[in-house]
Amino acid sequence: MNRIVQGLLGALLFFLILTGSENLLAQDTTGSTDSTVYTTITPNELMAIMQKEEFTVAKINDLVLEWILYDIQCLIFFTETNTSLRFYTKVTSPSADLEKVNTWNREVRYSKSYLNNDRSYILELDLDLDGGITEKRIKLFLITCEISLIQWVERVIIEDKS
């Protein structure tokens, strides 16, 4: 796939997610007001929010949820105190290009990417609940994870065939 087609597909996916995100945030599908402040969140509570938004999510154990995005397994890790979340995904690629990872980390401030010991690409995003956050902020975090995954796959994982 050449760079122009990749760019157009990426822009289209970004637009679709973004416009869907605006509708998601404009509607209160949970029946709750946004005045509820979470200083902790359990896997069951997050899973309920995600299922209402029609995400494919399953509980692995008391500290991990599995979230399938575009046929890619993503995990959400919880701390034992349930005061922060970590979005994590791993993609194995035939070539490991450290420069693509470094470029991503230089240009994107809200996530981090690295190569692990088996030379697989990793993407992580964190959400800290310290001080309290609303359900809308949790939804925005999920949307940010989804958009980041698309952009990360396009910019770091996909081989440049042009």
Is-contact 124 23, C-beta < 8 A?
no
Residue predicted with more confidence, 9 or 143: 143
CA distance 162 to 150: 20
User: Rounded CA gap, 81 and 22, in Å?
Assistant: 31
Q: Which domains does the chain have, with CATH numbers?
A: 3-29+36-157 (3.30.1460.10)
pTM, to two decimals: 0.78
d(CA 66, CA 81): 19
Mind listing the pLDDT tens digit for each residue in 2-53? 444 345 445 555 555 445 544 444 444 444 455 789 999 999 999 999 999 9
- Of the candidate ranges 33-37, 92-96, 106-110, 130-134, the one whose mean pLDDT is the lowest: 33-37
Is residue 116 a contact partner of residue 124, using CB atoms and an 8 Å limit? no
Contacts of 85 (CB under 8 A, 6+ apart): 41, 46, 76, 77, 78, 126, 127, 129, 141
Pairing of strands 121-128, 84-91: antiparallel
- List the structure tokens of 4: 């122009």
